[in-house]
């Protein structure tokens, strides 16, 4: 075990245990930043549509005014949809990675349990032979 000058190993372990929740929270930080960006893009798009709709001539049919407002804000809509799809793709990648990690952890756990069982059987056999 490595020792840091002036710090006991137990203190390091406790410090790492305290940092674990912080590290887990930081792992979700990119998702929070992406959500903020998505919210901002959505707000801009909605504001553009409202402004474009309210600027339509009074005699224009409602459905035509809606289509014209949406057409006027196509760039904001495209930016919002693109960002949303990118965020969904990133989330899917994270979930796939998490599933793969869980699979590796489960295999490692199974291997350790099998090794422990094998060691137990070996030690138990030796003890039984010594008792005879």
- Give domain limits for the chain: 9-101
Please tell me the predicted confidence (pLDDT) of residue 35. Answer: 66
Please tell me the predicted confidence (pLDDT) of residue 119. Answer: 80
**For each of the chain's 132 residues, which pLDDT tens digit applies?**
444 444 444 443 444 444 444 333 444 444 544 566 899 999 999 999 999 999 998 888 999 999 999 999 999 999 999 999 999 999 888 888 877 777 777 778 888 888 888 888 788 788 888 887
Ordered DSSP codes for 30-84 = HHHHHHHHHHHHHHHHHHHHHHHHHTS-TTS-HHHHHHHHHHHTHHHHHHHHHHH
Please tell me the predicted confidence (pLDDT) of residue 7. Answer: 45
Asked if 37 and 80 count as a contact pair (C-beta separation under 8 A), the reply is no
Compute φ and ψ for 94, nearest 5 degrees. -65, -45
Which pTM does this prediction carry? 0.48
Asked if 82 and 75 count as a contact pair (C-beta separation under 8 A), the reply is no
Q: What does the block give as tokens for 81?
A: 């949809």
Q: Which helix (H) or strand (E) holds 8?
A: none
Q: DSSP state, 3?
A: -
Rounded distance between C-alpha atoms, residue 104 and residue 111, angstroms: 10
Rounded distance between C-alpha atoms, residue 3 and residue 98, angstroms: 33
């Amino acid at each position: 075990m490595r020792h840091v000058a002036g710090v006991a190993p137990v203190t390091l372990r406790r410090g790492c245990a305290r940092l674990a929740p912080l590290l887990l929270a930081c792992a979700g930080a990119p998702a929070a930043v992406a959500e903020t960006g998505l919210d901002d893009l959505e707000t801009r798009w909605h504001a553009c549509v409202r402004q474009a709709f309210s600027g339509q001539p009074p005699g224009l049919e409602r459905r035509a005014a809606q289509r014209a407002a949406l057409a006027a804000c196509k760039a904001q809509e495209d930016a919002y949809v693109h960002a949303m799809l990118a965020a969904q793709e990133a989330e899917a990648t994270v979930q796939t990675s998490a599933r793969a990690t869980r699979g590796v952890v489960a295999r490692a756990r199974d291997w350790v349990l099998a090794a422990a069982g094998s060691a137990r059987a070996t030690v138990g056999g030796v003890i039984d032979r010594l008792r005879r």
